[in-house]
Structure 1
Amino acid sequence: MKKINPIDNNHLSASIQKFNQGVLSIEDWDSVTESRYSRNSLLSYRNDWQVFVSFCQSQHVTALPCAVTTLRRFAELTSQQRKVSAIRRIIVTVGLVHRLHRQRDPSKHREVKYAMARLLAAKLPEAKEAAPFRKRHLSALREHFQSSNRLRDIRDLLIWSLCYEGLLKRSELAALAAEDVLYDGEKAYVMIGEQRVVLSEQTAVTLAIWLKYSGIHQGPLLRRINKHGHLGDTPLDPSSIYRVFRRASDVLGESVVFSGQSPRVGASKALAKQGLSIKQIQHLGRWKSPAMPAQYVGNREASEQAKARYRHKKSTE
């Protein structure tokens, strides 16, 4: 948004009255915006403002200044006749008019942002979410590979186990080092940043077998293995992680292809069924906002609201 000086106090009252009537010329708009916009932009502003003023008149409320609830209701009530992109453009125009007239900008209020997020979610097709990798998938893979002593089988089983139990991101998995493995009595842990993730007995056994067969004592915990079965020195990259989860789909005969995100989706759903709140799942999965865990467990409205809050926070940093 271009920086434009607000209307001076000597002309403020007259301008507010004129804008509330809604009938303004291109020259009027050019004057209040200090000739910063093209004619096409001014036409768009004029038309958008007239639409909003007409709505306010039909609702018997004031357009300038307008209440936050008025702008929210405008978005909700006109969503059946107008595209979300058009509504968003009109809301931007309303915000501009308020700032030019030294009024508080209602378009920045979270109530309006949440309403727009809900409208966008309703208009968009369902987001293509990664296929959930569930506990039953992990159990089947353990049964299939539990007696194998092939290095690739042990590593892949450990990857599936760690990602599911620790809700690991692909970057966190690749960054794991041997030094991140801790023991406290009979319990085994891995450190993910500042968070200590406790491992199940089965995963701890798989980890011990991996360390024994790989001979890894320091550096990357999970490494690439070439086509000859030789262990490399470099950590897994995104394409390697993708192939590991595609292999899980092939072994299980699943019609969907798992991705590195699949365990976080499946584990989030399982934790929600256990009664954990979205906030608790967010903490366990180390998400910066509750948006994604809310989406994974099916709470779409909470997800969109959290995304709106997160975008607002980032825009003010």
Structure 2
Amino acid sequence: MHRAEFQVSPCRHRLVELALKSVKRKYGNVYRQAPPLGKKEVLAAIDGLGNTRLEIRDKAVLWVATDSWCRASEISGFRVRDLCRQDDGSSVLFIARSKTDPDGRGNYAFLSERGTKAVLRWIETAGLKSDDPMLTKSQRGAKICPLDPATISRIIKRCTKRDDVSAHSTRVGGVQDAFRLGCDLSSIMVAGRWKSPEMPARYGRRIIASQSAAAQVSRAFEEGEGD
């Protein structure tokens, strides 16, 4: 409200800054992140689904979530025309607008060949047209409208049989899988469309710790003792 009235914000006052610093020192400033949901667990959930209309839709949702590392709001916003096929069978998904792109400059996310086939199967099953939302309600004859972001999280919970996960869990899990495979931070930032390394580094801090110089030195000496 102060900024809207072109006034100096009281939040910048030194007393406020000191008070916040005191609170953080006393109670801590731990960041709570969504529980990770890695590729292996998502693929197991997909393999456990059948071929009903609902399950075909759910497979498409899971593939988009695990391949693209997109936020729930971005997944909800995809339209059929945003699926751009590539020569190797995979696709890229055009993200028209996102949390970090409020001006709508656009960006792209990856979708694997199996993910592309799952999405195309759902599009054909639902009879969706180019301007229709890519992921919609599964009921036959239902009004064609995009899935609510909260519904996407519920689908992931139901399919994985985990109540603690959400749509953001595949984003966290994807980063941790990438660190385990030895991907560098810059490529992870590109994949998740981060402008700063802070968030992906925070998501992968447990994995990074197990791959740190301290961990490598410990493993090297353990191997040396075994010789």
Normalising by structure 1, what TM-score? 0.51
Measure the CA separation in 2 of the matches of 1:122 and 1:165: 40
2:70, 2:109 within 8 Å by CA — same for their partners in 1?
A: no
1:219-258 equivalent positions in 2, closer than 5 A: 219-226=132-139, 230-250=141-161, 254=162, 256-258=163-165
1:18-29 equivalent positions in 2, closer than 5 A: none
Report Cα offsets for 1:127-177 as digits up to 9, x if no partner: 3221111111122112111xx332221111111111111111111101101
- 2:52 paired residue among 150, 170, 193: 150
SS of the residue aligned with 2:90?
strand
Segments of 5+ residues of structure 2 without an aligned counterpart are 1-12, 97-105, 207-227
Query: Once the 2 structures are TM-superposed, how far is the Cα of residue 120 of structure 1 from its aligned partner?
Result: 4.6
- Alpha carbons of structure 1 residues 180 and 244: separation in structure 2 relative to 1, 3 Å: same
Partner of 1:141: 45
1:225, 1:232 within 8 Å by CA — same for their partners in 2?
A: no
- Alpha carbons of structure 1 residues 121 and 295: separation in structure 2 relative to 1, 3 Å: farther
Measure the CA separation in 2 of the matches of 1:295 and 1:179: 34
Report Cα offsets for 1:80-102 as digits up to 9, x if no partner: xxxx955848xxxxxxxxxxxxx
Measure the CA separation in 2 of the matches of 1:265 and 1:235: 24
Partner of 1:168: 70
Give the residue type in structure 1 aligned to 2:80.
A
Report Cα offsets for 1:104-142 as digits up to 9, x if no partner: xxxxxxxxxxxxxxx958952643221111111122112
Give the residue type in structure 2 aligned to 1:244.
I
Aligned-residue sequence identity (percent) comes to 24
- 2:124 paired residue among 208, 212, 220: 212
Partner of 1:57: none
1:245, 1:257 within 8 Å by CA — same for their partners in 2?
A: no
The structure carrying a bigger helix percent of its residues is 1
2:71, 2:171 within 8 Å by CA — same for their partners in 1?
A: yes
Measure the CA separation in 2 of the matches of 1:122 and 1:264: 31
SS of the residue aligned with 1:235?
coil
Query: Once the 2 structures are TM-superposed, how far is the Cα of residue 257 of structure 1 from its aligned partner?
Result: 2.0
Measure the CA separation in 2 of the matches of 1:205 and 1:211: 10
Report Cα offsets for 1:179-227 as digits up to 9, x if no partner: 011223342312234444343222122122112211112221111235x
SS of the residue aligned with 1:191?
strand
Partner of 2:194: 287
- Alpha carbons of structure 1 residues 150 and 157: separation in structure 2 relative to 1, 3 Å: same
Question: Is 1:259 aligned to 2:166, yes or no?
Answer: yes
1:42-57 equivalent positions in 2, closer than 5 A: none
Partner of 2:101: none
The number of aligned residues is 184
2:72, 2:153 within 8 Å by CA — same for their partners in 1?
A: no
Question: Cα RMSD (Å) of the superposition?
Answer: 3.1
Give the residue type in structure 1 aligned to 2:71.
K
Measure the CA separation in 2 of the matches of 1:121 and 1:156: 44
- Alpha carbons of structure 1 residues 231 and 188: separation in structure 2 relative to 1, 3 Å: farther
Measure the CA separation in 2 of the matches of 1:160 and 1:122: 41
Measure the CA separation in 2 of the matches of 1:154 and 1:85: 54
Normalising by structure 2, what TM-score? 0.69
- Alpha carbons of structure 1 residues 230 and 87: separation in structure 2 relative to 1, 3 Å: closer
Partner of 2:5: none
Query: Once the 2 structures are TM-superposed, how far is the Cα of residue 293 of structure 1 from its aligned partner?
Result: 0.9
Query: Once the 2 structures are TM-superposed, how far is the Cα of residue 265 of structure 1 from its aligned partner?
Result: 0.3
Give the residue type in structure 1 aligned to 2:167.
G
The 4+ residue runs of structure 1 with deviation greater than 3 A are 84-89, 119-123, 193-198
